[in-house]
Structure 1
Amino acid sequence: MNRAAVEGKSTSTAVACDHCGLPVPKGLVDPAADEQFCCHGCRTVYQLLRDASLDDFYRVRQATGGDAQPVRTTGKRYEAFDSPEFQAEHCRGIAGGHLSIDLRLEGVHCAACLWLVERLPQLLPGVSSTRLQLRDAVARVTWNPAEVQLSSIAAMLDRLGYPPHLARHTTASEVHRRAERTQLIRLGVAGACAGNTMLLAIALYAGDFAGIEAEFANLFRYISAGIGIISLVWPGSVFFRGAINALRARSATLDVPIALALAAGGIAGLWNVVRGTGEIYFDSLSVLVFLLLVGRWFQARQQRWADETVGLLNSFTPSTCHVVRDDIVVETTIDSLATGDAVEVLSGDLVPADGTVISGSSTLNRSLLTGESQPEPVVVGDAVFAGTQNMGSVLRVRVDVVGDQTRVGRLMELVTEGVREKPPIVQLADRAAGWFVVVVLALAFGTFAWWTATATLSEAVQHTIALLIVACPCALGLATPLTMAVAIGLAARQHVLIKNATALETLAGTGRMLLDKTGTITRGRPTLVEWMGPAWLQGVVAYAESRSTHPVARALVETYGDHTIDDPANVPQNIEEQHGSGLRALVAGVELLVGSARFLESSQVIISDSQLEQIGCFEQTGLTTIGVALDGRLEAVAALGDQLHSDARVAVEQLTASGWNLRIVSGDAEAVVESVAHQVGLASEATSAEVSPEDKLALVTDRSDTTVMIGDGVNDAAALAAADVGIAVEGGAEASLAAADIYVAAPGLMPIVELVDLARRTRRTVRRNLCIALAYNAIAVSLAAAGWISPLVAAILMPISSATVITSAMSIHLRGESR
């Protein structure tokens, strides 16, 4: 807008803002200026774009049909974003010393906004990249803190009209709720239009048989056209926008044939209304719009269900916590926690954030992070992690890390990223859907040409519209991604976190399955195998060990905890635990020692030759020995071993029967590994003993077949990462959990069997859904092209295929729940 143009305007004509295009208030029109702006924000952004040579923003906005909206800025300086505490809590460090943060932006409404936000590096040197998700308006900004401050980045976004906020303060569920509300409003309008046009159609069809006066017939036809146009223009606009965007992007999406069918039917119907003869189609079109929106609403609901099932962080950490402020404990939301806060964790509560114990001692259930069901003791100075449960007395914890940066937060991020990745079968289905759209359009033009040449134009239009309606490839597009989402969500509910959807597809086949022994096939914690000594000492030892949380102590208590001590003089007194080695106590005035051979030797306990020989025999078979000494003499020996999971043999048999070639790989002695293999039904040749982490990695990489690695220890991490599918089982170390594609938090090997079964059911369901979609479309298109299906019948048949696919996909969930 130049000065001459402004001066040439009459006082009654509005002047458009050079940035947003909205009318400029009369008081802000400056006849002496070359550009006119409706507000200071638009003026600022306009100048910024010109200075940075980003004038293409206006071309992109015009090309994408972006709505005119004035710039909204807050003028905030965002100085708090630069504090070390804020960045430690909310920013992620990446390679090269750069930082990254997720910000939710106000004012994002069109593709031009996305284009402008992603060109932030051109406006601010030091910003490496900006990636904006238009759906939820979340931008991931990466920058070099040595070149630009985060407050400057936030202020620049604000000046551009996109005030930033922390993404976690406005949850994705709120975005989903707003979108769902809009969908429901659109669906209600479409339903009202469809109902009224159907009533009018019934009146017209009845009039054809019973007779109806011409003026009433024409009135009903015009009213039906008006309602139908409303249905196409408002609720149906989503399909036209989707088709236009697809054509601009030069891609074939499901909206293209839908929009073409709606446009062709609407134009033909309106023409017949004006002519006063022929089919008007608006009843069919209104019903089609309504049914399509119903299908999309159900699809969105299922996608939201899958997202919420995978988004497990909120269910693993409490929504509120108890913060200590000025020696007063107050309850607050977890979102308000900051680094350095002190929180009080009551018995039975979940720890809200990663931190350090500053007061108290207790035991924590860390099964979420490690799968280990036995509580572990913590004292002042020990690290604790979000999602673990306090099983003992009250703890006070200093908060070190909160939110997404906690251990459980990082684990959930790995799961979320894995779900976003499309496995090969989903990519194949996407390509098939694209080609199908092209084929449908070609068939539509061919059908129109054939019927135009052999019949009337009206029949050609009617049969072409029916073909476009009935051939909607919604079912083909839904078949695979919905099935995979349901399967991953079902696995998560069964405590199996699938971080990579491709892994589920791989498990549906066959190949090699390498199993670590300790903690995978065996329980990973000792149990009593044999006792050599007087029986009266069993209850005494159990009583002495009852206060200890050591795994050996728990094994003795579980076995002999119900034994009574007949003589009160034998009740242990002055019990003193020697961390990691044993304990001391007084029994009937003499010293009781319980512990390892090294502990007993350091205490000058006398051990006979026969006892040494027996201890040697136990240790050769892989058992751990614990000695019990009274008054300086060894009186009893307890032999403990790592027992198999109760389901190990059955699981191995079922995995073998399903086509997997199983092999045990372990760092234990050969005799121990072969003994375990024999117990689970595997031959000695199916074992590899005394295997180092490097050897495990070599076994995984030296393969000619699909290889699945299952383990739980740090020494398994490299092999888990290198395998086609790495599965970390309960009790696993953090390194193995991070390296694996799948984390099984349930005990035993049967969850692996169920996982393989789920993978194969998922593959069968995907194939069945694809066959249903393709068969339906092949039959329906043929009938429509032959003229045997009317547009109304097509509108009724079209959503049946989508409903069938959705029901088929959900059958995985139903069968999984019934297991």
Structure 2
Amino acid sequence: MSKIKCDHCHLEYDEDIMIKDDSLHFCCKGCQGVYHLLKDDGLDSFYEKLGNKTIAPPLTTDNDVEKFDTKSFEDNFIKTTDEGFSRIDLIIEGIHCAACVWLNEKVLYDTDGIVEANINFSTNKAKIVWDEDKIKLSEIILKIRSIGYNAYAYDATIADEKATKSKRDFFIRMMVAVFATMNIMMLSVAKYTGFFTGISEQVRNYIHLGEFILATPVLFYSGWIFYKGAYYGLKNRILNMDFLVSSGATFSYIYSLYVLFGGKGESYFDSVAMIITFVLVGKYLEVIGKKSAVDTLDKIKSSIPLEAIIIEDNIKKVLPINSVKVGDIVELKAGEKASFDGALESSSASFDESSISGESLPIDKQKGSKIFSGTINCEKVIRYKVLKSYEDSTLNSIVTLLEDSLSSKPKIEHKANEISKGFSVLILSLAILTFVVWYYFGIDLGFDYEGAEHFEKSFIVAISVIVIACPCALALATPIASLIGISELAKNGLLFKEAKYIETLATADTLVMDKTGTITKGKLKVKKAKFLDDNIHKLNLLYTLLDSSNHPISNSVKEYMKNNFSLESKDLFDIKSIDGQGVVAKYKNIDGKVFNILGGNMKLLKTYNIDYKFESKNSIYIFVVDSKVIATFELEDEIKEGAKEFILNIKKLGLDVVMLTGDNNATAKNVASNVGIKNYISEVDPIEKAQFIQDLKNKDKNVIMVGDGINDSVALAKSDVSIAMGSSADIALSVSDIVLLDNSLNSLELAFTLSKRTYKFIKQNLFISLVYNAITIPLAMAGYVIPLVAALSMSLSSLIVVANSMRIKLKK
């Protein structure tokens, strides 16, 4: 059987196993995929540069990709977005610098059918959204593998196992490097001592040989990850940090080999080992720092039960949580955590809801009361009906939101990435320029180098320039600080949908707040009720109308009516809710007469041309039948504890505070004056609220809107960042950018202070990395830094950025 060369890797294979593609031949689908990828992206000049050399074929683990398109895999890992696209979270193996992230995102975004590809540098987790009609998940996996990386579905257990394995491999490589480097340092002491005290040429050669033996495994085993990263970077026309490290170490190694085999000069095997070792140690400490930052998310996820006991035909079954359906009855023992949102079937129960609301005391619940996933059953065995699947549950929504926030990038990070992309090209150019200037123009800063010695000095100075530059610190500056900031916010019940909102919140200049449930407690109580017609039939209509609305005022009046009258519901029709005003409906009695009924505020009465004067500094509710006022209610809402101090502190942070409410002017004025808000707008409906927000934005204001996440949805959507306060976490998560789980103004203030603190440290990190490079690169070009010191300072710059970011955790 004749042998044929693969048109990609140039390795020879039997003709019968080759894949034919027009006039081309490939040894495997991987080579075929890479060939067409390079061709489509205009990178086929790669083969001209390759010449007749052979390369290793790409990953050939495509025999398992069919599983990614199976129904069972889809049920376990793939979700559907609101727009109807498919979404999955993947872990991408092999990512260890910002350039890796950029390469994967670029290739994926350029793939037809992929809507979104967002990769988090800190966790290697990728959020992929794609159109199932245009591309399959298996094809996406093959695309990632074709450029030298591997991907698998994110699963907490598997991810932890793979992370542990990867960390162990990294640790072994690092320890080999540390061991060899320590021994090289002992040999170097002898060599440099002999340099001053006299040493024979033979002994010197033996020392060089020993250094060679020790440095070789450091470079080619411990440093393999840098070669791998540099290879895939070059393959895609990117000069990354790995290229700088590997090229600096390799050039030093080659020159040292020249000296070992008889060339004139000094060997630098010690520098080779130290370059690799220092950078490896630095990267390992980065890994530890990142792990510390994501511990909050890990703790939340590890607390989710994996199984649930369901009752079916009075028989208990243990099922995985993903197999439990809406409508199933779940049994929960004392001390166990609920996995689903549901309704209590038992007569009573007590739940610890501190993980959701921040309330430290147990909450008593009666039959029919709502149970939130993530809360703990305190007293006895109870049963509840599942109202939402695990995937849609409150706790899982919180976890998903946190994971998404860690995958997103602030605007400032995109700017930093733009800078770091061209950084390596600049450094390599400076290194070449440095060599040329030193060698051809005879710069020696007082040293007398001639011939080989002059070349040696020029060469080593150029190597120092390559090694000392640190694009890694620049790339780490934003993501590591964002990661720590997000985790600290989450610890305090503040859920950010995306990390970019840290930057927006930190740079905001205007805070717009709804009144009810935000500044006030939102638990209205009827302070005064007046009945102009106490006909029980009409009061029944009032009770039924109140029951058709979920507004806090309607709920409070309904509670008052229930406690003071014995009422029954009637059949209403044409029920309409008018935003910011109230509810209208119709009722037909047994004689066929139709009554027009309405309930709401004064604005509703004006809309229906009902002439009635009623003023109060409290919230009001008026009930009308056929244009006749039947009852009026005055409701009082307590101002939250610490509201005045909160407003004062927010103003100190430099924000203008505006209260925006649909309530009457007298009530708004009373609340505003009590908490110290000078600028307030009252009696506005949701559309007017949204227009007010838009008007502020038209004036180039950076607007933060705080509301209940439901009635203020239009205004929230218009703001730069929307914040939901309230216990309806499942609803709030869908309409707001930030959710405060405990409904506290202290948490809202913390959101601003921690965001500003995080943003300050991001800017500090960028400043540190830029100043580091601005100082050290000229020093290296001037010949004041030897390669091993360059490697040490390069690692230290990254560690300084990580250590500085950890200061976000420090409480003032």
TM bin (shorter chain): 0.7 to 0.9
The answer to whether the 8 Å contact 2:85/2:129 transfers is no
Q: Percent identity?
A: 27
Helix, strand or coil at the partner of 1:197: helix
Kept after mapping to 2: 8 A contact 1:503/1:725: yes
2:130 and 2:662 map into 1 onto residues whose CA distance is 43
- Equivalent residue for 1:353? 340
Aligned to 2:675: 680
**Number of residue pairs aligned between Structure 1 and Structure 2:** 691
Distance 1:698 1:36 in 2: 67
* CA deviation after TM superposition for structure 1 residue 220, in Å: 1.3
Is 1:224–2:197 an aligned residue pair? Answer: no
Deviation at 1:761, TM superposition (A): 2.1
* Equivalent position to 2:17, from 36, 51, 64: 36
Whether 1:379 and 2:367 are equivalent positions in the alignment is yes
- Normalising by structure 2, we get a TM-score of 0.72
Q: Deviations over 1:478-528 (max 9, x none)?
A: 222212221112111121112222221122224211011122111223589
Pick which of 280-289 and 409-418 moved more.
409-418
Question: Retained in 1: the 8 A contact 2:174–2:222?
Answer: yes
Cα displacement (A) at 1:450: 1.3
Instruction: Return the offset for 1:342.
Output: 4.2
Gap change, CA 1:780 and 1:79, over 3 Å in 2: closer
Aligned to 1:255: 242
The partner residue of 2:660 within 642, 665, 678 is 665
* Partner in structure 1 of residue 692 of structure 2: 699
Query: Equivalent residue for 2:578?
Result: none
CA gap of 1:713–1:208, structure 2 versus 1, over 3 A, is closer
1:715: how far off?
Answer: 0.8
Task: For 1:78 and 1:776, locate their aligned partners in 2 and report how far apart those are by CA, in whole Å.
Answer: 45
Report the residue type matching 1:345 in the other structure.
L
Distance across 2 between alignment mates of 1:513 and 1:132 = 30
Amino acid at match of 1:647: G
Stretch deviating more after TM superposition (690-699 or 169-178): 169-178
SS in structure 2 at match of 1:714: coil
**Of 512, 519, 524, the match for 2:517:** 519
* Residue of structure 2 in register with 1:781 after alignment: 777
2:456 to 449, 455, 458: 458
- Going from structure 1 to structure 2, the CA distance change for 1:100 and 1:482 (only over 3 Å counts) comes to closer
Q: 1:610 maps to what in 2? A: none
Alignment counterpart, residue 80 of structure 2, candidates 93, 106, 111: 93
Instruction: Give the unaligned 5+ runs of structure 1.
Output: 7-14, 39-44, 532-578, 583-594, 604-616, 626-637
- Of residues 516-525 and 390-399 in structure 1, the stretch that sits farther from structure 2 once superposed is 390-399
Offset, 1:47: 9.6
Hey, what's the Cα distance between the residues in 1 that align with 2:141 and 2:265?
61
Deviates more, 1:291-300 or 1:318-327: 318-327
Q: Distance in 1 between matches of 2:182 and 2:651?
A: 58
Instruction: Report deviation, 1:35.
Output: 0.9
Report the residue type matching 2:367 in the other structure: V
User: Structure 2 CA distance, aligned partners of 1:653 and 1:624?
Assistant: 29
- Alignment CA distance shift 1:361-1:22 (3 Å): farther
The counterpart of 2:224, out of the listed 233, 237, 258, is 237
Return closer, same or farther for 1:69/1:506 CA change in 2, 3 Å cut-off. closer
Aligned equivalent of 2:721, options 721, 725, 728: 725
| Stretch deviating more after TM superposition (202-211 or 187-196) | 202-211
Matched, 1:648 2:643: yes
C-alpha RMSD of matched pairs (Å): 4.9
> What letter matches 2:688 in structure 1?
D
Matching of residues 525-544 of structure 1 within 5 Å? 525=523
Partner of 1:11: none
Q: Check 1:80–1:288 CA distance in 2 against 1; reply closer, same or farther (3 A cut).
A: closer
Q: Could you say if the C-alpha distance between residues 88 and 341 of structure 1 is closer, same or farther in structure 2, counting changes exceeding 3 Å? A: farther
Relative distance call for 1:449 and 1:399 in structure 2 (3 A) is same
Equivalence for 1:749: 745
Question: In structure 1, what residue type is equivalent to 2:463?
Answer: I
Tell me whether 1:763 sits opposite 2:759 in the alignment.
yes
Which shows bigger deviation, 336-345 or 768-777? 336-345
Q: Which amino acid aligns with 1:481?
A: P
Structure-2 change in CA distance of 1:149 and 1:270 (3 Å)? closer
Find the counterpart in structure 2 of residue 708 from structure 1: 704
Query: Equivalents in 2 of 1:771, 1:275: separation in Å?
Result: 46
Counterpart of 2:434 in structure 1 is 447
Structure 1 contact 354–406 (Cα < 8 Å) conserved = yes
For residues 173-252 of structure 1, the aligned pairs below 5 Å read 173-252=160-239
Give SS of 2:418's match: helix
1:492 pairs, out of 490, 493, 500, with: 490
- Deviation, 1:272, is 1.6
- Give 1:674's aligned amino acid: K
Q: 1:21 & 1:331 partners in 2: Cα distance?
A: 55
Helix, strand or coil at the partner of 1:771: helix
Task: Evaluate the alpha carbon distance shift between residue 118 and residue 205 of structure 1 in structure 2; reply closer, same or farther with a 3 A threshold.
Answer: closer
Which deviates the most, 383-392 or 643-652?
A: 383-392
Unaligned ranges ≥5, structure 2:
20-25, 445-453, 530-554, 568-612, 622-632
Does the residue aligned with 1:667 lie in a helix, a strand or coil? coil
Look up the SS of the partner of 1:351 in the other structure: coil
TM-score, normalized by length of structure 1? 0.72
CA contact 2:397–2:733 (8 Å) conserved in 1: no
Instruction: Tell whether the 8 Å contact from 1:712 to 1:733 is kept in structure 2 after alignment.
Output: no
Could you give the per-residue CA deviations for residues 544-590 of structure 1, whole angstroms, max 9, x where no partner exists? xxxxxxxxxxxxxxxxxxxxxxxxxxxxxxxxxxx9889xxxxxxxx
Would you say the 8 A contact 2:348–2:366 is kept in 1?
yes
Residue 71 (structure 2) pairs with residue 81 (structure 1): yes
- Which residues of 2 match residues 303-702 of structure 1 at below 5 A? 303-310=290-297, 314=301, 317-324=304-311, 327=314, 329=316, 334=321, 342-355=329-342, 361-362=348-349, 375=363, 377=365, 379=367, 384-390=371-377, 394-399=381-386, 401-453=388-440, 454=442, 456-525=454-523, 596=560, 600=564, 620-622=616-618, 641-683=636-678, 686-702=679-695
Local SS of the residue matching 2:512:
strand
What SS does the aligned partner of 1:731 have?
A: coil
Change (3 A) 1:23 1:387: farther
DSSP-derived class of the 2:647 partner: helix
Find the aligned partners of 1:186 and 1:774 in 2 and give their Cα distance: 30
- Distance in 2 (alpha carbons) for counterparts of 1:388 and 1:618: 44
Contact 2:279/2:792 (8 A) holds in 1: no
Residue 299 of structure 1 is matched in structure 2 by 286
**Any conservation in 1 of the 2:709–2:725 contact (CA below 8 Å)?**
no
Q: Which amino acid aligns with 1:811?
A: R
C-alpha distance in 2, partners of 1:37/1:681?
A: 79
CA 619–194 in structure 1, closer or farther in 2 if over 3 Å, else same: farther
Cα distance in 2, alignment partners of residues 309 and 519 from structure 1: 28
Given candidates 244, 248, 252, the residue that maps to 1:265 is 252
Contact 2:423 2:471 in 1 (8 A): yes
Look up the match of 1:628.
none
Task: Identify the match of residue 793 of structure 1 among 773, 789, 793.
Answer: 789
Secondary structure at 2:739 match in 1: strand
Q: 1:195 to 1:334 in 2, by over 3 A?
A: farther
| Of 723-732 and 460-469, the range deviating more from structure 2 | 723-732
Moved more, 169-178 or 262-271: 169-178
Mapped partners of 1:525, 1:772: distance in 2:
49
- Tell me if structure 2 keeps the 8 A contact 1:16–1:36: no
Secondary structure of 2:17's partner?
A: coil
How far apart are the structure 1 equivalents of 2:720 and 2:270? 53
